[in-house]
Amino acid sequence: MRVVILGSGRGSNAEAILLAQQAGRLGRARVVQIFADKPDAGILALGPRFGVEAAFLDAAPFKTKLDGAAEEHYIAAIMACRPDLVVLAGFMRVIKPRFLAAFEGKIINLHPSLLPSFPGLDGIGQAWRRGVKIAGCTVHRVTAEVDGGPILDQAAVRIEETDTLEESFAQKIHAAEHALLPAVIARLSEAG
C-alpha cells in the first residue's frame, strides 16, 4: 500500500507513522511521499531523516482550503505518486469535492477528538472547555463534511483533575494519536 502524507506543521503524527514503518509495524503500507503546504513546516525535515521524498507544495492563495490552481497542482503531484492511501496528518486545509473525487475512498484524517463531538478546529481545546471527562482522537475517512466521514477507529483518553490543558491533557491526546494512526494504516494495508 503506497501512502502519501499531507501535513502543515511539525509532523509529530507523520513521524509516528514513519517510526512504525521503520519498526515493521505498518503492515504492508509504505510511505512514498510527504507534502507540506508551508515551506518551513517541520514535517519536511522527516523526509531526509527517514529516506522518504518530502516537498513543499504551494497552496496559495487561500489559507484554509485547497481550491483552484493550487488544488489542481496538489492533485497532479499526489497522482504522480500512485497512492493507495492519502493521510491527512495535521493538514490544516479543508478538502474540496474535486480533490475528494480524485482520491475517492483513499483519504483518511486524524482528528483530536472523539467524533462526532468537537469537530473542526481545536478539538482538544473544545473538549477541555466543555469539561468532558473522556476525550480522545479519531481516524476517519474524509468526505465533503468536515470531520464527518465514516469513523475507522478511536482512542479514548481520561481527563484527570490534575491535568492541565497544554501539558498533560494535550500530551495524552497526542500520545493516543501517535499509536492510533499507524495502527489504522497497518490494518487498512492488510485489509486491502
DSSP string covering 88-147: ESS--SBPPHHHHHHTTT-EEEEESS-TTSS-SS-HHHHHHHHT-SEEEEEEEE--SSTT
Distance, CA of 95 to CA of 66 (rounded, Å): 6
SS3 content of the chain, % helix, strand, coil (to 5): 40, 25, 40
- Catalytic residue, candidates 73, 111, 140, 178: 111
Contact, 102 vs 94, CB < 8 A?
A: no
CA separation, residue 119 to residues 49, 72, 74, 149 (Å):
32, 27, 24, 11
Active site residue 111: yes
Give backbone dihedrals phi and psi of 109, rounded to 5 degrees, phi first: -135, 150
Does the bond joining 61 to the residue before it have cis omega, within 30 degrees of 0?
yes
Catalytic residues: 111
